[in-house]
Amino acid sequence: RPQFLQGLLLDTSEQKRSEEALKESEERFRKIVDTAHEGIWVVDASGRTSYANHRLAQMLGMSLQEVLNLSFHQVVGQGTASHGVQETLLGETGQHNTREVALRRKDGTVLWALLASSPLENGAGQRVSTLHMVTEISERKKMEEQLREYGERLRLLASHLEGVREEERTWIAREIHDELGQGLTGLKLDLAELDRRLTRVEWPEQDKNALKGRIQEMLHCVDGTIQRVREICTQLRPPILDNLGLAAAIEWQLSEFERKTGVSTRFHTWEVEPELDMDRTTTLFRVFQELLTNAARHSGASLVEVRLEALHKEVMLELRDNGCGIQGQAISGRSGLGLLGIRERVGLLGGSLELGSAPGWGTRALVRIPLARQEG
């Protein structure tokens, strides 16, 4: 029969408090996770879902249990390179990563989301799973697609308007040449005939000389007007561009530029001109004219050098001058409708404009346009 009892009394109050605190902390964490605006998704190394919150289930149109039964492969993939995404998000890099992915909803529709992924490690520092914070961006993607479509429509409209503008230039030049030019030529012939007949008229010599002088003034005026009409027609649409091609038109424009401004020019071009459609020929010539105008107005240059080449399935037009250069804001194309217009026209054909400038070194403009239209 026991003579006495021996017991051990342990104070577990601190342990109980710790357990209660841990329980409260877990409850708070669970509430935060379940009420989070983002979906929370934990995927183990094999791609199976080990945890998901209600927000993720709501995004996917599923119950929470259905999400927990899914693998990463089953959700990510439609509209996204699934294997490549897994290699990045579940690979061995151990790096944080953020990527836009397409998630497959229960009803088969696509949900675009931003996945911010972080590795979860055990006590030994080994990654055992990946935490994905999922933010829905379907509306943003929809707006981006709409903006892309609107941008494409604007580009098509701009291209159409450029074509219409060139057609109108050609038509106006033809009408001016045919109607006004021929009318002035007829008027000149009539005045010349009147001058010849005047010698046979028996008028006082003084009166005849005065009238002949007046006729000569009118002939001089008509000649000047005819010359001006020709210049206007040439500015609207140089015949040499259609008849002899881009290189010949640029060479002619440089000679006119040199004659009018006194600025020396040099031109280097291809020996055999490639086949260029009218859009590319016209765009390159109009861009060249605008760049040449900028050089005349702003650079104060004494030499302009132009190079026209066809290399690697693209046409390159380069213009250099030895002037004072242009300001940084102008180089970026944010100021001046001229450079902005050049970028827009070149961009319509899938090309680019590069500008460089430095004080004392002048300005360099390089235009690149594909020889053939880029599909897609």
Residue 310 sits in a domain whose CATH number is 3.30.565.10
Q: Do 263 and 297 fall within a single domain?
A: yes
What phi, psi does 193 have (nearest 5°)?
A: -65, -40
State pLDDT tens for residues 166-203: 788 878 888 887 788 888 888 888 888 888 887 777 77
Residues 6+ apart with CB under 8 A from 113: 39, 59, 100, 101, 102, 103, 134, 135, 136, 137, 138
Residue keyed to tokens 């990654």: 127
Nearest to 55 by CA among 102, 113, 96: 113
Angstrom CA distances, 363 to 125, 179, 337, 356, stand at 57, 42, 18, 6
* 375 inside domain: no
8 Å CB contact between 308 and 246: yes
8 Å CB contact between 293 and 338: yes
Residues 6+ apart with CB under 8 A from 246: 273, 276, 281, 284, 285, 308
Structural domain boundaries, residue 189: 143-234
State pLDDT tens for residues 32-79: 667 678 899 998 888 889 889 989 999 999 999 999 998 888 888 644
Q: Do 103 and 154 fall within a single domain?
A: no
What is the distance between the alpha carbons of residues 328 and 332, in angstroms, rounded to a whole number?
6
Nearest to 67 by CA among 83, 51, 79: 51
* 215 inside domain: yes
* 173 inside domain: yes
Give 1's pLDDT tier (boundaries 50, 70, 90). low
Residue 273 CB neighbours (<10 A): 15
Q: Do 181 and 117 fall within a single domain?
A: no
Q: Quote the pLDDT of residue 103.
A: 92
Residue 116 sits in a domain whose CATH number is 3.30.450.20
Pairing, β 303-311 against β 264-268: parallel
Residue keyed to tokens 């089953």: 74
Q: Do 228 and 282 fall within a single domain?
A: no
* 17 inside domain: no
Q: Is the pLDDT of residue 86 over 50?
A: no
Q: Do 117 and 157 fall within a single domain?
A: no
SS3 category, 37: coil
CA distance from start to end of the chain: 98
* 3 inside domain: no
How many angstroms separate the most distant Cα atoms in the chain? 173
8 Å CB contact between 191 and 374: no
State pLDDT tens for residues 302-335: 899 999 998 878 999 999 998 877 655 454 444 4
Please identify, among 106, 136, 166, the residue that sits at the C-terminal boundary of a domain.
136
pTM, rounded to two decimals: 0.57
Q: Do 123 and 221 fall within a single domain?
A: no
Q: Do 252 and 358 fall within a single domain?
A: yes
* 2 inside domain: no
- Average per-residue pLDDT for the chain: 81
What phi, psi does 45 have (nearest 5°)?
A: -65, -25
What phi, psi does 338 have (nearest 5°)?
A: -60, -55
Q: Quote the pLDDT of residue 367.
A: 94
Q: Do 118 and 160 fall within a single domain?
A: no
Give 376's pLDDT tier (boundaries 50, 70, 90). very low
Q: Is 321 exposed, middle or buried (0-12, 13-18, 19+ CB in 10 A)?
A: buried
What phi, psi does 318 have (nearest 5°)?
A: -120, 135
State pLDDT tens for residues 87-118: 445 444 556 788 889 999 999 899 999 998 88
Q: Do 74 and 104 fall within a single domain?
A: yes
Q: Is the pLDDT of residue 240 over 70?
A: yes
* 366 inside domain: yes
Please identify, among 110, 136, 162, the residue that sits at the C-terminal boundary of a domain.
136
Please identify, among 121, 136, 151, the residue that sits at the C-terminal boundary of a domain.
136
8 Å CB contact between 249 and 276: no
* 44 inside domain: yes
Nearest to 257 by CA among 301, 227, 315, 224: 301
How many domains, the chain?
3
Q: Do 351 and 296 fall within a single domain?
A: yes
At residue 285, what is the residue type? F
Give 373's pLDDT tier (boundaries 50, 70, 90). low
Q: Do 153 and 267 fall within a single domain?
A: no
- What sign results for the dihedral spanned by CA atoms 73, 76, 79, 82? negative
Q: Do 360 and 247 fall within a single domain?
A: yes
